[in-house]
Amino acid sequence: MSKFEYSQPVNLDDNHSKIFVADCLDKRFRAAFDEVAEQIAGGKNYDRAGTAGVSKAIVEGSDGGDTIRNIEVGIEKHGIEEVHLFDHIQCGLYGGEEEPEEHFEMLRRAGGIILANTPILRVHAYLFHGTHAEVVEI
């Protein structure tokens, strides 16, 4: 059997996270998503799940409810207290030519769905552009 070694051992005793990040799968934005998630978490643990076109997937149900279920598991098992939604421009699920306003609307609606269907009290949303992430009010 083959195995892969990694440089940082896993702390198996620390599975508590207050923050859940739901982002898109697009690899073009992975480094930006990682950087902003680390800033938000302030060096602490956070849970994360990727779904294509995350806010649209939550609103339209194309993820089959997986994102909401992941948040619920994070609440129950890890103590999640807040959710951060990461959308980005030129998203394939939106057709790649969408306007930022379409993302703003979907992020707000997705945040409302999370607030209505989980005990989460705080949802934050961001639209990632080529050089920055714009905060979207929920």
Parallel, antiparallel or unpaired: strands 122-128 and 82-88: parallel
Identify whether the C-beta of residue 126 lies closer than 8 Å to the C-beta of residue 86: yes
In a domain, 3, yes or no: no
Nearest partner of 17 among 42, 34, 35, judged by Cα = 42
Determine the structural domain holding residue 96 and report its residue range: 19-136
Token pair for 82 = 């807040």
In a domain, 53, yes or no: yes
CATH assignment of the domain containing 34? 3.40.1050.10
In a domain, 30, yes or no: yes
In a domain, 118, yes or no: yes
In a domain, 8, yes or no: no
In a domain, 7, yes or no: no
Q: Convert the pLDDT of each residue in 8-42 to its tens digit.
A: 888 888 888 999 999 999 999 999 999 999 999 99
Question: Whole-model pTM above 0.85?
Answer: yes
Q: Convert the pLDDT of each residue in 65-120 to its tens digit.
A: 999 999 999 999 999 999 999 999 999 988 888 789 999 999 999 999 999 999 98
In a domain, 13, yes or no: no
In a domain, 123, yes or no: yes
Domains held by the chain: number: 1
Rounded CA-CA distance 126/29 in Å is 13
